Amino acid sequence: MNLPQSFTQRMQALLNDEYAAFEDALQHAAPVSIRVNQSKIALPAALKPVPWSQTAFYLPERPQFTLDPLIHAGAYYVQEASSMFLEQALRQVVNLDQELQVLDLCGAPGGKSTHIASLISPESLLVSNEVIRSRASILAENVTKWGSGNVVVTSNDPKDFGRLPSFFDVMVVDAPCSGEGMFRKDPQAVGEWSEDNVVLCSQRQQRILMDVWEALKPGGILIYSTCTWNQAENEENMAWLAAQHSAESLKIELDPSWGVEETALEGVQGYRFYPHRVQGEGFFMAVMRKAGEEETRHSTTKKKKYKLVAAGKKEKALVQGWLLQTEKFEWVQHNEVVSAVPATIFEALDELYKNLYVLYAGIEVAEVNGKKIKPLQALALSQYLNKDAFASTELDLEQALRYLRKEDINLGFSGNDWLLMQHQDIPLGWVKQIGNRLNNYYPKEWRIRMELPQELPEASFLKD
């Protein structure tokens, strides 16, 4: 790897005697790590844990993930290990038992959003945003597969969140950056790097922070991160934020065995990940508290006009048995789609619909057209699916992969009913029986496109 000269000089000055080990680490393949969705599958006993996360593990080698139905079912997420340090920030500085309103501003493709969703309470709200519409669709897909039910996917510019003053208790801003920490995973990033781009990224990060700052309530928490090592995009930006808005830097307690380096600049603490010290990629994180007293959120008791439309009694009666813990949900309807949203986030969700562009919210349960009713993919993958409400069929590996390729599959029986397709007892999606034929309702845009090899893996590495 031919590193830019000015980058090399800066890192040599920063790391001194450690630079040779750092450069050597960049010549080796990046480690492979996953984070497990405990609502769908048990934690594996045989894999090496990522030390700063309770549900993440390293894999000894990179498998062909596409050929594992469990990843399509949302049983786990492939995520870079260093970025999972977000868990420590949330556990140490946020009361996760409270009903929180959290923003993941730069959410695509979904690693941090699904991680946050696993850590906050079911009564909390997570707004997962991505400004680029095509990436927002991928984000919505991954959030849907994770199946939490209390996540809203939006596609808005950071400045749009100014319409929601003091709305969020916690903001996570994984800012677009110069990508120095991804050099060994993305050689193209090396060619695109320049000192001018570092300056541009730093300025853009400051604009992003200013655009969303008003939406963070007084006393609220900002978790800022990048995958780069220069001070301009990291410590200097946080020192600038502290000076501009009297934000307070918060400390994260570290285990020395983790290999994470704590930095300090003008009273602001930061946390750096270097590939020769940790089993992960380059990463930086800082945690700041907005000045002012924490506000208690008061729910309104007076009647108001809602943008969200309640589902009709007939539609609700058709589908409410399809979810577990139905008493926790409000039922809403948009055109023919009936969705369930946690009652605790209904008011906040209505505000989001009034002020932002919402792609996806809660659990899209069914499409209802008169007496015709079709269960939707989000229901199949929801953590609240009542599997007893449906007939189901267990698919072997080849059948599951052919189903995920949206091929026709023959199960050797007939009927006229919706069937839940499962692999290793984990739902994948729906088919509709029409006599001897099965109509495959797996989403066309999600389908596996690669040709299946003659020899398939024996089983998922997460199953014994």
Tokens 């946050």 belong to: 116
> 318 and 177, same structural domain?
no
Evaluate whether 172 touches 185 at the Cβ level (below 8 Å): no
Mean pLDDT of 38-65: 96
pLDDT at 150: 98
Strands 216-226 and 372-375: unpaired
> 214 and 263, same structural domain?
yes
Tokens 């997962």 belong to: 128
Residue 396 has pLDDT above 60, yes or no: yes
Residue 302 has pLDDT above 60, yes or no: no
Evaluate whether 432 touches 389 at the Cβ level (below 8 Å): no
Tokens 């052919």 belong to: 402
pLDDT at 293: 81
Evaluate whether 232 touches 195 at the Cβ level (below 8 Å): no
> 196 and 142, same structural domain?
yes
Residue 410 has pLDDT above 90, yes or no: no
Dist CA 344 CA 364 (whole Å):
17
Mean pLDDT of 336-350: 96
> Is the residue at 310 inside a domain?
yes
Mean pLDDT of 134-155: 98
- CATH number, domain at 225? 3.40.50.150
Catalytic residue among 106, 177, 201, 227: 227
Least confident among 80-84, 145-149, 341-345, 407-411: 407-411
- CATH number, domain at 350? 3.10.450.720
Q: Residue 173: name the closest of 217, 223, 227 by CA.
A: 223
Interaxial angle between packed helices 5-15 and 19-26, expressed in degrees from 0 to 180 and rounded to the nearest 10: 130
Q: Residue 201: name the closest of 189, 212, 213 by CA.
A: 189
Indicate the burial class of 431 (C-beta count within 10 angstroms; 0-12, 13-18, 19 or more): buried
pLDDT at 412: 82
pLDDT at 305: 86
Q: Which two tokens stand for residue 247?
A: 């934000």
> 221 and 325, same structural domain?
no
Dist CA 415 CA 433 (whole Å):
6
Helices (H), 16-104: 19-26, 69-72, 86-93
Q: Is the dihedral of CA 136, 173, 306, 314 positive or negative?
A: positive
Mean pLDDT of 145-171: 98
pLDDT at 299: 58
Beta-strand (E) ranges in 371-417?
A: 372-375, 391-394
Q: Which two tokens stand for residue 173?
A: 């801003």
> 195 and 121, same structural domain?
yes
> Is the residue at 18 inside a domain?
no
> 314 and 276, same structural domain?
no
Tokens 């030390």 belong to: 51
> 269 and 343, same structural domain?
no
Beta-strand (E) ranges in 155-301?
A: 168-174, 216-226, 248-250, 261-265, 268-273, 283-289
Least confident among 14-28, 140-154, 289-303, 345-359: 289-303
How many other C-beta atoms are found inside a 10 Å radius of the C-beta of residue 66? 14
> 259 and 120, same structural domain?
yes
Dist CA 19 CA 105 (whole Å):
34
Residue 98 has pLDDT above 60, yes or no: yes
pLDDT at 309: 94
| C-alpha distances in Å from residue 91, one per residue of 116, 250, 372 | 10, 13, 45
Mean pLDDT of 73-78: 98
Dist CA 123 CA 137 (whole Å):
25
Q: Residue 457: name the closest of 398, 393, 395 by CA.
A: 398
> Is the residue at 116 inside a domain?
yes
> 340 and 222, same structural domain?
no
Evaluate whether 287 touches 263 at the Cβ level (below 8 Å): no
pLDDT at 298: 58
Beta bridge partners of 77: 35
pLDDT at 240: 97
Residue-averaged pLDDT of the chain:
95
Which residue type is seen at 18?
Answer: E
Helix/strand/coil percentages in the chain, nearest 5: 35, 25, 40
> Is the residue at 42 inside a domain?
no
Q: Is the dihedral of CA 345, 384, 43, 277 positive or negative?
A: negative
- Stated pTM of the model: 0.96
Report the number of distinct structural domains present in the chain.
2
> Is the residue at 326 inside a domain?
yes
Dist CA 288 CA 269 (whole Å):
9
> 360 and 240, same structural domain?
no
Residue 378 has pLDDT above 90, yes or no: yes
Least confident among 131-135, 163-167, 244-248: 244-248
Mean pLDDT of 125-147: 98
Helices (H), 320-395: 346-355, 377-381
**pLDDT-above-90 percentage for the chain:** 88
Supply the range of the domain harboring residue 319: 305-389
227: annotated active-site residue = yes
> Is the residue at 189 inside a domain?
yes
> 245 and 358, same structural domain?
no
Residue 301 has pLDDT above 70, yes or no: no
Please give the angle made by the CA atoms of 145, 148 and 149, to the nearest 5 degrees: 105
Please give the angle made by the CA atoms of 26, 30 and 33, to the nearest 5 degrees: 155
pLDDT band, very low/low/confident/very high, at 300 (cuts 50, 70, 90): low
Single out the residue in 354, 389, 424 at which a domain terminates.
389
371 versus 362: which is more confidently predicted? Answer: 362
pLDDT band, very low/low/confident/very high, at 49 (cuts 50, 70, 90): very high
> Is the residue at 13 inside a domain?
no
Name every residue whose Cβ is closer than 8 Å to that of residue 100 and which is 6 or more positions away in sequence.
Answer: 94, 120, 121, 124, 125, 169, 170
Evaluate whether 39 touches 383 at the Cβ level (below 8 Å): yes
pLDDT at 457: 87
Single out the residue in 334, 358, 389 at which a domain terminates.
389
> 95 and 124, same structural domain?
yes
Mean pLDDT of 441-461: 91
Single out the residue in 344, 364, 389 at which a domain terminates.
389
Cα maximum dimension of the chain = 73
Dist CA 325 CA 385 (whole Å):
10
> Is the residue at 132 inside a domain?
yes
